[in-house]
Amino acid sequence: MTYSRTQTGHLLLCIGFLLPSLIVETTGETVQNVESKLLLVMFDGFRHDYLDKTDTPNFDRLLAAGAKAAGVIPAFTTKTFPGHHTVATGLYQESHGIMGNNMYDPEFDATFNQGTAEPRWWNYGGEPVWVTNQKAGGRSVSVFYPGARVNISGQTATYYQPQYDESMPFEERIDLVVGLMASDQANLGLLYFHEPDSTGHLQGPDSDSIVEAISMCDTTLGYLLVSLTEAELIDDVNIIVTSDHGMANVAAEQTVFLDEYVESGLYFYTNNDPVFGLWPYNETDGSLTTIYEALKDAHPQMNVYWKEAIPEGFRYRDNRRVSPILIVMDEGWHVWTNRSVEGNWMTYRGNHGFLNTLSSMQTIFIASGPAFKSNFALTDSFDAVDIYNLMCHVLDIDPAPNNGTFSNVAPLLSDAVTIALPSFAALFLSLVSCKILLD
List CB contacts of 270: < 8 A, sequence separation 6 or more.
100, 102, 103, 104, 111, 276, 277, 279, 323
User: Helix 208-230 vs helix 170-182: angle between axes, to the nearest 10 degrees?
Assistant: 30
In the three-class reduction of DSSP (H, G, I as helix; E, B as strand; rest coil), residue 237 is classed as strand
Separation CA 100–CA 85 (nearest Å): 10
Residue from 169, 219, 249 nearest 8 by CA: 169
In the three-class reduction of DSSP (H, G, I as helix; E, B as strand; rest coil), residue 228 is classed as helix
The pLDDT value recorded for residue 225 is: 98
Q: 411 and 69 in contact (C-beta within 8 Å)? A: no
The pLDDT value recorded for residue 429 is: 35
**Annotated catalytic residue 80:** yes
Question: What is the reported pTM?
Answer: 0.89
| Residues forming a β-bridge with 155 | 152
Point out the catalytic residue in the list 6, 56, 77, 80.
80
Angle 77-78-80 from CA coordinates, rounded to 5°: 110
The pLDDT value recorded for residue 6 is: 35
DSSP string, 356-369: TTSGGG-B-EEEES
Q: 351 and 344 in contact (C-beta within 8 Å)? A: yes
The radius of gyration of the chain from alpha carbons, rounded to an integer in Å, stands at 23
Q: 181 and 141 in contact (C-beta within 8 Å)? A: yes
The pLDDT value recorded for residue 283 is: 86
Separation CA 158–CA 140 (nearest Å): 5
Which pLDDT tens digits describe the chain residue by residue (439 residues)? 232 333 334 334 433 333 333 455 545 566 655 679 999 999 999 999 999 999 999 999 999 999 999 999 999 999 999 999 999 999 999 999 999 999 999 999 999 999 999 999 999 999 999 999 999 999 999 999 999 999 999 999 999 999 999 999 999 999 999 999 999 999 999 999 999 999 999 999 999 999 999 999 999 999 999 999 999 999 999 999 999 999 999 999 999 999 999 999 999 999 999 999 999 999 889 999 999 999 999 999 999 999 999 999 999 999 999 999 999 999 999 999 999 988 999 999 999 999 999 999 999 999 999 999 999 999 999 999 999 999 999 999 999 999 999 999 999 999 644 444 343 333 333 333 333 333 4
